[in-house]
Chains A and B, each alone.
Chain A
Amino acid sequence: MEFEILGNKDTRSGFGEGLAELGRTNPDVVALCADLTGSLKMDAFQKENPDRFFQAGIAEANMIGLAAGMTIGGKIPYTGTFANFSTGRVYDQIRQSVAYSQKNVKICASHAGLTLGEDGATHQILEDIGMMRMLPNMTVIVPADFNQTKQATIAIAEHNGPVYLRFGRPVMPIFVKPDAKFVIGKADILTEGTDVTIIACGHLVWKSIEALAILKEKGISAELINMHTIKPLDVPAILTSASKTGCVVTAEEHMMNGGLGEAVSQVLSRELPCPQEYVAVNDSFGESGTPMELMTKYGIDTQDVVNAALKAIARKG
Chain B
Amino acid sequence: MENSALEKVASQVRRDIVRMVSAVNSGHPGGSLGCADFLSFLYFEQMNFNAESFQMDGLGEDLFFLSNGHISPVWYSVLARAGYFPVAELGTFRKLSSRLQGHPSTDKKLPGIRMASGSLGQGLSVAAGAAQVKKLNSDKSIVYTLHGDGELQEGQIWEAAMYAAANKVDNLIATIDYNGRQIDGDVEDVMSLGNLAQKWQAFGWEVLEMDGHHFDDIRLNMTKAKAMCGKGKPVVIIMKTEMGQGVDYMMGSHKWHGVAPNAEQLTAALAQLEESLGDY
A interface with B by C-beta (< 8 Å): 30, 51-52, 54, 56-57, 59, 61-70, 72-75, 77, 92-93, 95-97, 100-103
Contacts and interface: CB of A to CB of B under 8 A. Distances in A.
B17 to A, nearest CB: 24
Contact of A65 (B57, B125, B155, B166): B125
Interface in B107-128: 107, 114-119, 121-128
B116 A97 contact: yes
B134 A69 contact: no
A73 B135 CA distance: 10
Contacts of A69: 65, 115, 125-133
3 smallest beta-carbon distances between A and B, as pairs: A65-B125, A69-B129, A66-B129
Contacts of A68: 115, 125-126, 129
A101 B130 contact: no
14 contacts: A51-B136, A59-B159, A61-B155, A65-B125, A65-B160, A66-B129, A66-B132, A69-B127, A69-B130, A69-B132, A72-B56, A72-B126, A75-B133, A100-B107
B162 interface: yes
B4 interface: no
B147 to A, nearest CB: 13
A59 B126 CA distance: 14
Given A51-B136, A67-B129, A73 B57 contact: yes
A93 B156 CA distance: 10
Nearest to B67: A65
B142 interface: no
B116 A93 contact: no
Given A59-B163, A66-B163, A72 B63 contact: yes
Contact of A62 (B130, B132, B136, B160): B160
B211 to A, nearest CB: 29
Contact of A100 (B59, B105, B139, B167): B105
A93 B107 CA distance: 16
A102 B106 contact: yes
Nearest to B157: A62
B258 interface: no
A57 B163 contact: yes
A106 to B, nearest CB: 14
